[in-house]
Amino acid sequence: MNRRSGSGWSLIDASQLAREPGAYDLGALLGITTGSVWLVILRAAERWVPGDDMLGEESAIVRREGHVLVEHADGSSHTLNDGLELATNPGLAAVVNVGTELAELLVVSR
């Protein structure tokens, strides 16, 4: 990934990651030390479980593409789809692509 920055700003060109499943630590690339930012791209029926070191006490998910199920540590879950773009959720346990296409989301945590 290419990173450009100036006084008070940073820009990441992540175009080479397009359509490449995986979890990418954008926060480290941006030099964020008080939280984390992950770009997560999942194939159909694929599940991502964040590691203990990936998330803080509060997390937010921004769904950019596809349909995903968010599972919480307390056993509850909800679906992010066209009607719901952002969900704050302490205790994120996993994210599952419940669609047939690739799903793409940002997980921001502090």
Tell me the whole-structure pTM to 2 decimals: 0.84
CATH superfamily assigned to domain 2-109: Jelly Rolls (2.60.120.10)
Closest CA to 68 of 101, 108, 31, 33: 101
3-state secondary structure of 29: helix
* Predicted pLDDT at 100: 94
Q: What is the mean pLDDT of residues 95-109?
A: 92
- CA 31 to each of CA 27, 56, 96: distance values in angstroms, whole numbers, following the listed order: 6, 16, 28
Q: What is the mean pLDDT of residues 61-80?
A: 87
Q: Residue 8: which pLDDT band, with cuts at 50, 70 and 90?
A: confident
* Predicted pLDDT at 14: 75
Closest CA to 61 of 41, 77, 80: 80
pLDDT at 30 over 80: yes
pLDDT higher at 86 or 75: 75
* Predicted pLDDT at 81: 72
Closest CA to 1 of 21, 17, 20, 18: 17
In the chain, the amino acid numbered 98 is V
Domain definitions of the chain by residue range: 2-109
